[in-house]
Amino acid sequence: MNNLPSFPQCYKVDSKPHKFCPGCGHPIVLKMLGQVIDEMGLADQVVLMVDIGCSLLAWDYFDLPTTQTHHGRTVPTAVGFKMADPGKIVIAYMGDGGAYAIGLQHTLTACLRDNPLTTIVVNNTLYAMTGGQLAPTTMDGEITTTTPGGKKEFETLKGPELLKTVAHKEAFLARGSTEKPLVLKQYLKKAIETQKQGHFSLVEALSACPTNWKTNAPKTIEKMKELEAFFKQGEF
């Protein structure tokens, strides 16, 4: 029990307990992020921007300057802020819809330009806050509310792989999973270091959404294994 890590110092205590669903991956990602910020001593430098979707619930998660933006527009807001105040560590925190659908051109262009940002994409293969619709990362055959027969018509978007084709060689692209939080933590650390070195970074975190997957605990773990088999983890 005494080996449990304590909550990050940069947590905003009065917004706890948090608003995410039981079993959600977001709190795991955010906790790892919080630990990285603590360990790197970056609380005075970090500015956090969140998308619209379940990521918006992180608006008061940390005692860090944070703003909600509009769906898909987190990256351009981050780009503008970083241009105005390059000394800050700017983090764009989004879901798979914000990063890869409505905001795809912004994510891609920021990578193309090698904007020094850190983008975190929480990938749960569907649109959670709106009730579980198709996402660019919905897997083959996966059932969502808008693909009730199972998605078959087109490919699944694999973000880091796609961005690799336009990324600077010093950019950092990785995919981790909430099933391996300490590995994810390392990726987040590297991503922030990459921003400090002046390059683009993106960490995709495979994450569970038991609410919209309609899975109980054992089935959620099973489905996470499916995600891990479908989406390659590691640095790209």
Partner 1 sequence: MIKILIAGEGGQGVQVIAEILAKAAFQEGQKSSYIPNFGVEQRGGVSLAFVVIDNQPIIYPKFAKADIVAIFSQRSHERIKEYLDEKTRIIKGPAITQKDAGLPSRVWNVWVLGQINKEGQMVKKESLVKALEERFTKQFSQNPELRELDLKALNA
Partner 2 sequence: MGNQILAQAAKDAGAKIMFGYPITPSSEILETWAKICLKDKSLSVLQTEDEMAAGFGTIGACLAGVPAFTATAGPGNILMQDAVVMAEALRIPMVVMIMQRGGMSTSTVIYSQEEVRLTCFGGNSEGFRIVYSTSNLQELYDYTLKAFQMAWQYRWPAFVLADGYQGKMKGEVEIPDQKLSIPNLSPILKKGVNLRNCYNLEEEIGEIIVNYSDEYQRKRQEMEEYEDYQAKDAKIIILSHGIVAAAAKVAVDQLRKKGISVGLFRPITLRPFPTKAASEIMGKTQKIIVIESAIGQLSGLFKEELFGLNTTLIEVNKPALGFTPAEIIKTIQAYE
Residues that bind partner 1 (CB under 8 A): 19-22, 54, 56-57, 128-129, 131, 211-212
Q: Which stretch binds partner 2 (CB under 8 A): 32-40, 65-73, 162-170, 214-222?
A: 65-73
Q: What's the rounded Cα separation, in Å, for the pair 45 and 224? A: 34
Taking the least distance from each CB to partner 1, the nearer of 31 and 71 is 71
- Residue 60 as a binder of partner 2 (CB under 8 A): the answer is yes
- Residue 223's contacts (CB-CB under 8 Å, 6 or more residues apart) are 208, 213, 215
Burial label, 74 (beta-carbon count in 10 A; 0-12, 13-18, 19+): buried
Taking the least distance from each CB to partner 2, the nearer of 75 and 192 is 75
Backbone angles phi, psi at 50, to 5 degrees: -120, 155
76, interface contact from partner 2, partner 1, none, CB < 5-8 Å by kind? partner 2
Which of 36, 26, 85, 83 shows the shortest CA–CA distance to 59? Answer: 26
- Residue 69 as a binder of partner 2 (CB under 8 A): the answer is yes
Taking the least distance from each CB to partner 2, the nearer of 69 and 144 is 69
- Residue 21 as a binder of partner 2 (CB under 8 A): the answer is no
- Please count the residues of the chain: 236
Angle, CA of 34, 39 and 43, to the nearest 5°: 60
Q: Which of 73, 151, 189, 223 binds partner 2 (CB under 8 A)?
A: 73
Q: Which stretch binds partner 2 (CB under 8 A): 102-110, 160-168, 194-202, 218-226?
A: 102-110
145, interface contact from partner 1, partner 2, none, CB < 5-8 Å by kind? none
- Residue 175's contacts (CB-CB under 8 Å, 6 or more residues apart) are 159, 160, 203, 204, 205, 206, 231, 232, 233, 234, 236
Which of 13, 14, 58 shows the shortest CA–CA distance to 33? Answer: 58
DSSP 132: S
109, interface contact from partner 2, partner 1, none, CB < 5-8 Å by kind? partner 2
Which of 163, 223, 224, 172 shows the shortest CA–CA distance to 201? Answer: 172
State the minimum distance, in angstroms, from the CB of residue 155 to partner 1.
28
Taking the least distance from each CB to partner 2, the nearer of 76 and 160 is 76
- Residue 12 as a binder of partner 2 (CB under 8 A): the answer is yes
Binding mask 40-59 toward partner 2 (x if CB under 8 A, else -) reads ----x--x-x--x---x--x
Q: Which residues pair with residue 174 across a beta bridge? A: 203, 235
Residues lying near partner 2 in the complex (CB under 8 A): 12, 44, 47, 49, 52, 56, 59-60, 63-70, 72-73, 75-85, 88, 105-106, 108-109
